[in-house]
Amino acid sequence: MTAAQNRICFEPELIQRYDSRGPRYTSYPPADHFSDWFTEKHYREIATKGNESPIPRALSLYLHIPFCNTLCFFCACTKIVTRNSATVEKYLEHLCREIQIQGALYDDDREVVQLHLGGGTPTFLNTTQIERVLRQIERSFSLSKEPDREFAIEIDPRTVTPQSLEELQQLGFNRISLGVQDFNPKVQEAIHRIQSPEETLQLLQHAREIGFHSTNVDLIYGLPFQSVETFNRTLDLLMTAPPDRLSVFNYAHLPWRFPAQRRIHEKDLPSSQEKLRILETCIHWLTEAGYSYIGMDHFARPQDSLTRAQLDGTLGRNFQGYSTHADCDLVGVGVSAISQVENCYSQNLKELAPYHRAVEKGRLAVDRGYRLSGDDQIRRRVIDHLICFGRADLKAILAPSQLAPKTYFVSELAALNIMATDGLLSVDEESNIQVTPAGRFLIRNICRVFDRYAAVADSESKYSRVI
């Protein structure tokens, strides 16, 4: 993507007209299409098959730490709110065992170049517990020693001090992601997440001073009592210690799916017009402050590796969102974790007790998964290209299968024509799709054209709205 293509253009009328529900495409097909015919046996087969490749594929390791101290009412993550240290210890014991079992599947020449601790709240664990998990990873996998390896941890600023941040760095983490959501006290009270702006900003500042390679902050718009003015104040404060990356997520109010959200009153939510104004102001704000819009809620500074990966064409997408290591197999460890290995997805059991039982038997806790067909692989490439680079060369993507875009994507090209009339994209004679600056905010709608399962999906109840 060139700097000119990286431009964005906010067209509220167009966005409102196309506003609908749809997947975020952290996988294609989305995870609700995984099924339980896919078992541990299939996962073991594909994991070991990758070892036979003449060029060893590097690994990206994701560890899920599901525990949290308190419940944020907006949260849709797989998490367990607990104070019970025995529950935590038992999980860590089984997590380490799973790391051992997973590690035995992958040859030593398959280095881990990317490690991500997510949750829940990874920093619910103390430094000693985190170190114990890392030592197990070191014993079970080959960790890259290269300076460009990315070892990241999600941080709840309410659980970390400047000193424990330094300890995390000494353990090898070089990237942090902080959950902030909003600094406004009334919003914080309504979402049950009271977090001091001063302490959060101090942590961000300290991370920069002691040399973390990248800092990310998560914000959410569309929360109760938010307005353009309150959100601007949050951004104002944040820019006193500007992070390298920012994720600005749209709050998806789905109380029928996520019971905690029933404690958020619909009447307190901003109107869709106000949400749109918040988003518009936020985009204006961040681009003025020098951030590039990566796509799908993500912003990064020009020198950040995410921006560079987008410019040099190496950006990828996986369950953690955008990734600078698109060429890796992703190995997910822990309850509910998802792996993406070769052309398969595999998801672990979501509940602690069955997860423990599987691991105790020396088994992997695979619950369900998906093996991509040839057609799925083609559509996944198209969707990945659109989301990561705002363009897709259909001819080049279909070339290895000796298929022609105009016969393979008949209905899709017709649907794109309508979007082209609305100014969302252009398609040339060679079937090159180029998303326009105005279409970048509607990328989910554009990707959905290539989603073979979209028509049968019960989109209205499953997915969040685009805005």
CB of 71 to ligand SF4, least distance (A): 5
What is the distance between the alpha carbons of residues 76 and 251, in angstroms, rounded to a whole number? 10
Nearer to ligand SF4, 119 or 390 (CB): 119
Return the structure tokens found at 349: 């059991």
What is the distance between the alpha carbons of residues 446 and 383, in angstroms, rounded to a whole number? 9
CB of 76 to ligand SF4, least distance (A): 8
Q: Please count the helices (runs of H) and the strands (runs of E) in the chain.
A: 17, 19
Nearer to ligand SF4, 140 or 177 (CB): 177
Nearer to ligand SF4, 120 or 390 (CB): 120
CB 13 within 8 A of CB 283: no
Amino acid (1-letter code) at residue 458: D
What separation in angstroms does the CA of 463 have from each of 20, 44, 419, 466?
9, 31, 22, 9
Nearer to ligand SF4, 177 or 324 (CB): 177
CB of 151 to ligand SF4, least distance (A): 20
Nearer to ligand SF4, 62 or 293 (CB): 62
CB of 387 to ligand SF4, least distance (A): 24
Nearer to ligand SF4, 72 or 269 (CB): 72
What is the distance between the alpha carbons of residues 159 and 156, in angstroms, rounded to a whole number? 6
Q: Dihedral sign for Cα 318, 319, 323, 328, please.
A: negative
Binding-site ranges for ligand SF4 (CB under 6 A) = 68, 71-72, 75, 77, 79, 119-121, 156, 179
Strand-pair partners of 63: 117, 333
Nearer to ligand SF4, 178 or 427 (CB): 178
The answer to whether the bond into 29 is cis (omega within 30° of 0) is yes
Burial bucket for residue 208 (CB in 10 Å: 0-12, 13-18, 19+): middle
Nearer to ligand SF4, 68 or 238 (CB): 68
CB of 178 to ligand SF4, least distance (A): 11
Residue 220: phi and psi, rounded to 5, are -130, 135
The answer to whether the bond into 120 is cis (omega within 30° of 0) is yes
What is the distance between the alpha carbons of residues 228 and 251, in angstroms, rounded to a whole number? 15
CB of 280 to ligand SF4, least distance (A): 25
